[in-house]
């Protein structure tokens, strides 16, 4: 049971200091999670810390490969509303 | 001390490298009403004193990459070879590297008085890295003032730690005091180990900001408030923000234009949110200035900028260039103190000359004001003029070489500095931008609203294009003082009857 950082990570460092297990480390081309150390924050926090501060949708996935921050979750705009919101913003 | 590795021979940088204007809104009068202990805090801080920014330099070190909030105008992928814009940074430093860099720059640019940590993330979301840097510098370079920029979320809990260091000023970005507006700017914040979305997140952020502002003011720290003007979101709201932060005791308000190009990959950029036009920005700054000291000389510099405001000498001080440099800081401090004393002497002489001129002027007007007889009618409208200058407060730059124009407004009573407009700061202006617009056309768009451009020389092609755009090119005042030339041109316009009504503008309405 471990989380994974995948392509899309922009190396912003936000997750690294928060990990209660020190499982996250800087690497090239992007940060990585040591699967042996990652506890998914069980016993430490209700929310998975790295995923709770990550600013990039789909950059952190669970052991099933499911994105913890799926598309639309961080902008607050579901993909199906994207075009409508874009039109509203451009009318400003 | 061996510093030649940096490829610069001078130990004294140009006296006015960044901003070129003698006026530049720099009224010392802005500071004159302040108590002595506050003036002492701002007199050599380029971001707090308009006067100081002609003489003193600042630098930022990028040690704070992590952030605890998301702003719709920020893209956390913070580097690209093709861009140079606020928040963006090329080289992330460890605290030890940052200290090395600061000391090297301070030895090479003795005018550097202030070290700021401004991201690329939130410095207070990176307290270990930020405070480690401050701690070392307080000890090793006591003649450098320390400064920090923050979104304020973590400020209340860190105020006391912050005050332990050599800090007189803090910059807070406050874009709203209304959580409904905040929800349109901040999609989420990270708070007490959880992500908090939308209005609820914005509400927490605003509370923390206001609390932090109060705590800083209570401790005698000067606070500059930065606000990003986002048309259709907080543009109407920022006057209220200005009033609110002034009421709390903020020292200076800096309303900055949103930068949101699609290629920057920010939410606003991708969604096509526009930035304010020059007119909109100026109108808001003027509206807020009734309540608050407004900053107009901000250059929205990068999180790793080095040098005078308006210039970036960061490339001279990359880690690979300074790693081998051995800085004798004790010797540097002596040199720095000499340079600072010389600057202070120049400023004092200038202030004295100004008082004398004013006394003379008031003496003359007591009799008869000859100039008032030839000035345009009092009701004549104000005119914006753009100035190409490379420094010294004179018109001394070829139109085609200008990467920044100073904008002055002339009216029947006086000439005042309004702002600067970059022609290529945020975009390299070449074909990589992909919008097919020529550099010249971009420059002309940047001058929208101006009726005259004053430069030392100008080519045939831009002359024609400027005229086509309704802007009068003028090279007749080369090497003259900016304010005098602007006044003279305004007077000429009055004599030609050009001030009675605004000419029809042919320019396109691009921001």
Q: What DSSP element (H or E) covers B196?
A: strand B194-197
User: Which chain B residues are Cβ-neighbours of A17 within 8 angstroms?
Assistant: 66, 126, 128
Region of residue A9 (left: phi > 0; alpha: psi -120 to 50; beta: else): beta
Per-residue pLDDT tens over the stretch B234-277: 999 999 999 999 999 998 899 999 988 888 889 999 999 999 98
C-beta atoms surrounding B479 within 10 Å: 10
CA-nearest residue to A82 within chain B is: B271
Within B275-414, strands assigned E span 306-307, 383-388, 404-410
Average pLDDT for runs of 10 along chain A of length 92: 93 95 95 96 96 96 96 92 94 93
Give which of B271, B277, B303 to mutate to test A binding, by max A Cβ within 10 Å.
B271
Closest CA to B74 of B89, B56, B87, B55: B87
Interior CA angle at B470 toward B468 and B474, to 5°?
Answer: 95
φ and ψ at residue B257, rounded to 5 degrees: -75, 140
Instruction: Assess whether the previous peptide bond of B39 is cis (omega < 30° from 0).
Output: no
Q: Mean pLDDT check: name the lowest of B2-11, B421-430, B445-454, B479-488.
A: B2-11
Query: What DSSP line would sit under B1-64, residue for residue?
Result: -B-GGGS---SS--TT-S---S-TT--THHHHTS-HHHHHHHTT-TTT-TTGGGT-EEEE---B
User: Which chain B residues are Cβ-neighbours of A43 within 8 angstroms?
Assistant: none
Residue B442 has pLDDT above 50, yes or no: yes
Give which of B62, B95, B194 to mutate to test A binding, by max A Cβ within 10 Å.
B194
Q: How far apart are CA B248 and CA B211, in angstroms?
A: 10
pLDDT at B461: 87
Alpha-carbon distances, residue A28 vs A32, A57, B297, B450 (angstroms): 9, 19, 39, 49
Q: Which residues contact B504 (CB under 8 A, 6 or more apart)?
A: B470
The distance in angstroms from the start CA to the end CA of chain A is 46
Question: Is residue B499 very low, low, confident or very high in pLDDT (cuts 50, 70, 90)?
Answer: confident
**B positions 162-191 inside 8 Å of A (CB):** 187-188, 190
Cβ distance B78 to A10 less than 8 Å, yes or no, reads yes
**B positions 269-288 inside 8 Å of A (CB):** 271-274
Instruction: Provide the percentage of residues in chain B whose pLDDT is more than 70.
Output: 81
Q: How far apart are CA B15 and CA B458, in angstroms?
A: 27
Contact B184, B249 (CB under 8 A): no
**B positions 93-132 inside 8 Å of A (CB):** 121, 125-126, 128
Nearest neighbour of B231 by CB, restricted to A14, A16, A92: A92
Residue B385 has pLDDT above 80, yes or no: yes
Chain mean pLDDT for chain B: 82
3-state secondary structure (DSSP) of residue B112? strand
Order of strands, edge to edge, in the sheet holding B194-197? B69-70, B188-191, B194-197
Per-residue pLDDT tens over the stretch B23-35: 333 344 455 556 6
DSSP bridge partners of B263? none
Specify the DSSP class assigned to residue B379. T
Closest CA to B473 of B499, B450, B502, B453: B453
φ and ψ at residue A67, rounded to 5 degrees: -70, 130
Nearest neighbour of A76 by CB, restricted to B77, B121, B198: B198
3-state secondary structure (DSSP) of residue B182? helix
Residue B160 has pLDDT above 60, yes or no: yes
How far off is chain B from A34, nearest CA to CA, in Å?
20
Nearest neighbour of A12 by CB, restricted to B76, B194, B274: B76
Alpha-carbon distances, residue B465 vs B266, B384, B395, B402, B408 (angstroms): 33, 18, 21, 16, 21
* A2 inside 8 A of chain B by CB: no
Instruction: Assess whether the previous peptide bond of B63 is cis (omega < 30° from 0).
Output: no
Cβ distance B271 to A47 less than 8 Å, yes or no, reads no
Q: Which residues contact B396 (CB under 8 A, 6 or more apart)?
A: B389, B390, B456, B478, B479
CA-nearest residue to A76 within chain B is: B187
How far off is chain B from A69, nearest CA to CA, in Å?
11
Question: Is residue B361 very low, low, confident or very high in pLDDT (cuts 50, 70, 90)?
Answer: low
DSSP bridge partners of B384? B409
How far off is chain A from B120, nearest CA to CA, in Å?
9
Nearest neighbour of A14 by CB, restricted to B66, B77, B188: B66
Contact B199, B189 (CB under 8 A): no
pLDDT at B426: 38
φ and ψ at residue B4, rounded to 5 degrees: -65, -15
Contact B459, B467 (CB under 8 A): no
Instruction: Assess whether the previous peptide bond of A29 is cis (omega < 30° from 0).
Output: yes
Nearest neighbour of B193 by CB, restricted to A49, A74, A91: A49
Q: Residue B154 is encoded by which pair of tokens?
A: 């973590």
DSSP bridge partners of B472? B452
Residue B434 has pLDDT above 90, yes or no: no
User: Which chain B residues are Cβ-neighbours of A90 within 8 angstroms?
Assistant: 271-274
Closest CA to A56 of A15, A27, A28: A15
Chain mean pLDDT for chain A: 95
Contact B192, B139 (CB under 8 A): no
CA-nearest residue to A83 within chain B is: B271
Contact B303, B88 (CB under 8 A): yes
Query: What DSSP line would sit under B163-210, residue for residue?
Result: HTSSEEEEEEE---S-HHHHHHH-SEEEETTEEEEHHHHHHHHHHHHH
pLDDT at A31: 96
Side-chain-side CA neighbours of B72 within 13 Å: the count stands at: 30
Q: Which residues contact B484 (CB under 8 A, 6 or more apart)?
A: none
Residue B99 has pLDDT above 80, yes or no: yes
Estimate the share of chain B in helix, then strand, then coil, as percent rounded to the nearest 5. 40, 15, 45
pLDDT at B20: 38
How far off is chain A from B319, nearest CA to CA, in Å?
19
Question: Is residue B100 very low, low, confident or very high in pLDDT (cuts 50, 70, 90)?
Answer: very high
- The answer to whether ipTM exceeds 0.90 is yes
Residue B386 has pLDDT above 90, yes or no: yes
Cβ distance A90 to B65 less than 8 Å, yes or no, reads no
Q: Which residue is associated with the tokens 């606070």?
A: B223
pLDDT at B32: 57
φ and ψ at residue B359, rounded to 5 degrees: -60, -45
Query: Regarding predicted confidence, which is higher, A50 or B431?
Result: A50
């Amino acid at each position: 049971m471990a989380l994974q950082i995948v392509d899309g990570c922009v190396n912003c460092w936000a997750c690294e200091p928060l990990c209660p297990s020190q499982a996250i480390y800087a690497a090239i081309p992007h940060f990585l999670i040591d699967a042996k150390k990652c506890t998914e924050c069980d016993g430490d926090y209700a929310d998975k810390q790295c995923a709770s501060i990550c600013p990039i949708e789909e950059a952190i996935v669970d052991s099933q490969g499911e994105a913890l921050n799926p598309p639309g979750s961080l902008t607050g705009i579901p993909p199906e509303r994207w075009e409508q919101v874009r039109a509203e913003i451009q009318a400003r | 001390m061996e510093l030649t590795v940096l490829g610069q021979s001078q130990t004294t940088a140009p006296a006015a490298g960044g901003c070129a204007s003698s006026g530049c809104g720099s009224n010392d009068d802005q500071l004159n009403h302040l108590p002595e202990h506050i003036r002492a805090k701002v007199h050599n801080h380029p971001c707090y004193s308009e006067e100081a920014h002609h003489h003193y330099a600042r630098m930022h070190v990028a040690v704070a990459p992590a952030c605890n909030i998301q702003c719709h105008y920020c893209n956390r992928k913070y580097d690209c070879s093709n861009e140079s814009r606020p928040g963006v940074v090329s080289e992330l430093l460890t605290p030890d590297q940052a200290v090395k860099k600061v000391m090297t720059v301070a030895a090479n640019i003795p005018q550097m008085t202030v070290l700021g940590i401004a991201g690329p993330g939130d410095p207070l979301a990176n307290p270990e890295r930020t405070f480690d840097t401050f701690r070392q510098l307080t000890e090793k370079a006591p003649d450098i003032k320390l400064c920090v920029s923050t979104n304020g979320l973590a400020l209340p809990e860190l105020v006391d730690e912050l005050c332990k260091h050599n800090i007189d000023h803090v910059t807070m970005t406050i874009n709203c005091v209304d959580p409904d507006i905040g929800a349109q700017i901040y999609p989420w914040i990270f708070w007490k180990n959880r992500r908090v979305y939308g209005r609820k997140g914005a509400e927490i952020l605003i509370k923390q900001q206001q609390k932090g502002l109060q705590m800083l003011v209570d401790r005698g720290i000067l606070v500059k408030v930065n606000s990003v003007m986002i048309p259709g979101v907080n543009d109407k709201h920022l006057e209220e923000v200005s009033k609110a932060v002034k009421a709390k005791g903020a020292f200076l308000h800096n309303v900055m234009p949103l930068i949101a190009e699609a290629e920057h990959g920010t939410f606003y950029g991708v969604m096509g949110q526009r930035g304010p036009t020059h007119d909109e920005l100026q109108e808001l700054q003027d509206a807020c200035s009734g309540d608050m000291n407004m900053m107009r000389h901000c250059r929205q510099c990068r999180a790793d900028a080095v040098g005078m405001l308006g210039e970036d000498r960061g490339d001279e001080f990359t880690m690979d260039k300074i790693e081998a440099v051995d800085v004798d800081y004790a010797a540097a401090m002596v040199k720095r103190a000499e340079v600072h004393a010389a600057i202070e002497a120049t400023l004092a002489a200038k202030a004295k000359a100004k008082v004398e001129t004013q006394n003379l002027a008031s003496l003359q007007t007591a009799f008869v004001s000859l100039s008032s007889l030839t000035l345009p009618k009092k009701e004549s409208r104000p005119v914006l003029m753009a100035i190409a200058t490379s420094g010294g407060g004179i018109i001394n730059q070829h139109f085609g070489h200008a990467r920044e124009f100073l904008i002055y407004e002339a009216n029947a009573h006086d000439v005042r500095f309004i702002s600067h407009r970059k022609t290529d700061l945020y975009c390299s202006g070449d074909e990589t931008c992909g919008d097919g617009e020529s550099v010249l056309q971009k420059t002309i768009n940047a001058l929208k609203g101006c009726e005259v451009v004053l430069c030392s020389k100008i080519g045939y092609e831009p002359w024609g294009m400027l005229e086509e755009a309704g802007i009068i090119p003028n090279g007749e005042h080369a090497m003259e003082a900016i304010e005098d030339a602007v006044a003279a041109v305004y007077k000429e316009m009055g004599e030609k009857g050009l001030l009675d009504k605004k000419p029809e503008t042919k320019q396109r309405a691009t921001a």
